[in-house]
Chain A
Amino acid sequence: MITTENITKSYGNFKALKGISFKVPSNNITVLLGPNGAGKTTTLRILAGYLYPDYGKVEYFGQKYDENLEFKKLIGYIPENNPVYEDLEVTEYLEFVAKSYYLGKKEIKIAVERCALKEVLGKKIGNLSKGYKQRVSLAKAILHNPPILLLDEPTTGLDPNQAYQTRELIKELKKDKTILISTHILSEAEAICDNILIINKGEICASGEKESLIKQYSKNSYVLRFDGDIENKFIEMEGIKEITAKKENGETEFIIEFENDKDMRKDIINFAYEKKLPLIEFYKNKVTLDKIFSKITKERL
């Protein structure tokens, strides 16, 4: 469990973080979402102990973080842009990391197996593909089996297959770890996270479990598509809040939003049947993370 309280960080006159407080639960993947320049990297750098906050405190499992080197052993961290020592071989790098944590070859072997690095062990990191470099960093981050993983945009620049593999590996790791990932790739966040923190302009705008956040921003809205040019007869239905109509390619689309939370699917189907409307497509309009993200971040502009 990571707890932060009122963290403030400024770079000169620019306030990167304006007193943010949040909690990251254990055995969970929490995603820190935000547009570029929102303060994601600064937050992760403070949590990883690379930067010191101007004010505020960070607690790991109830203990206040200080400059004690033992605290650093709790954290596995991949910084933004995935920096690596390009002139070292994979083995040399992992041996260096293992020695730093007073560990041996056994731990290197486990990390190598988990990140599937066996075939590139003797190669220089600089000669590896982006995907392999990312895996090397992940191996470095998990080698000392830390209870906390902080990953700053871990799949940026990877091809879809590599990104999928990295996400699967991260999902596998959540069993016994507290994982905080920063990203601005919404599809990735949706695919991987249990909890969401949305940050914008140095402030936490929304936080909570993914499902509850989606529920919070969900509307009781339905999409109906009809063949031909259809007149809007749905205003006759009860409890309508808003109807949007769109005519395109010989079809008419209605997005109907209701005021109540009741499941209106049967009522809509019955209504369309009664009015003999040529319905060709019908579904409940689901709120996606990108819609929530866009709404929250635009609200704060």
Chain B
Amino acid sequence: MRAENIKTLVSKELKHYLNTPPSYVLASVFLLLCGYFFAQPLFLINQANLNSLTDIAPLILTFFAPALSMKLIAEEKKTQTIEILLTMPFSEEEIIISKFISASLIMITTIFLMFIYSITLYFLSKPDTGHILGSYLSLLFTAVCFLSIGVFSSTLSSSQINAFISGFAISFFFYLCGKVTFFLPLYLQEAANYIGIDSHISNMARGVIDFRDIIYFSSISFIFIYLSINKLKNMRVR
């Protein structure tokens, strides 16, 4: 795997994102929704924190991340440009990783723009900086994790809609797992709690950066990136 190749591919992918209006629309809708959930407690119950946002943002990300990543491979398959890409001197690993990186860069930029929201908090009160940074970090980890799922879903089909639906379904499974532990038998509760994204987010949102949470998010991303690479390789064997 060559860093130079990844740089070339990431730059191409970013041009695709920046040359097409849907990326801007998607980012704007995400920022508007998050802005609403940020502002709601601030004005209604006079609470200057990000709790409401960190509660709802993972759910928004189950839509936003697959929507951002659905075209990555599906579109290349549909327009047959995947044939161009795979016959150029790039490996499957380079292709998948650079697509993942480019989508992550767009996502990180969008989340970075949300910092404007928290800056307003400093004008109104004295918020806990650790909590704010932790909240953003948890959002970043969740987003990147869901993006890896989105990239994998995109390799499953040549239809962007199918890629979005499967990406949303898998992401929602991870989102839901932590929410339904109370309804599960006792012996499954711990496993569901670990698989679900909830417990890992809540730790970070409190400002506690636990190494186990970082391993959790990295593992999910790694597994889905690995599966995507394999899927792309299998496509050539058929």
Contacts and interface: CB of A to CB of B under 8 A. Distances in A.
A69 B91 contact: yes
A83 B81 contact: yes
B89 A69 contact: yes
B15 to A, nearest CB: 6
B230 to A, nearest CB: 14
A100 B8 contact: yes
A281 B5 CA distance: 66
A101 B12 CA distance: 14
A47 B4 CA distance: 26
A135 interface: no
A50 B11 CA distance: 23
Nearest to B79: A83
Interface residues of B, number: 23
B89 A87 contact: no
A96 B8 CA distance: 7
Interface in A18-64: 45, 48-52
B87 interface: yes
Given A96-B12, A100-B90, A88 B84 contact: no
Interface of B: 4-5, 8, 11-12, 15-16, 19-20, 79-81, 83-84, 86-91, 236-238
Contact of A97 (B20, B81, B88, B236): B88
Contact of A83 (B19, B20, B83): B83
Contacts of A80: 80
Interface in A54-107: 69-70, 72-73, 75, 77, 79-81, 83-88, 92, 96-97, 99-102
24 contacts: A49-B86, A49-B87, A50-B86, A70-B89, A72-B88, A73-B89, A75-B87, A77-B84, A79-B83, A79-B84, A80-B80, A83-B80, A83-B83, A85-B84, A86-B79, A87-B19, A88-B12, A88-B16, A99-B8, A99-B11, A100-B8, A100-B90, A101-B89, A140-B84
Nearest to A86: B79
Contacts of A75: 87
Contacts of A87: 16, 19-20
Contacts of B81: 83-85
Given A52-B236, A79-B84, A83-B83, A69 B8 contact: no
Contacts of A86: 79
A75 B19 CA distance: 29
B15 A69 contact: no
Given A83-B79, A85-B81, A86-B79, A52 B87 contact: no
A79 B80 contact: yes
A124 B18 CA distance: 13
Contacts of B238: 11, 51
Given A96-B8, A99-B8, A100-B5, A50 B87 contact: yes
Given A85-B16, A87-B16, A52 B237 contact: yes
**5 closest Cβ pairs, A-B complex:** A83-B80, A79-B83, A69-B89, A99-B8, A72-B89
A75 B8 CA distance: 19
B89 A100 contact: yes
A48 B87 contact: yes
A49 B86 CA distance: 8
A31 B20 CA distance: 39
Contacts of A83: 79-81, 83-84
Nearest to B2: A69
A84 B80 CA distance: 8
A142 to B, nearest CB: 14
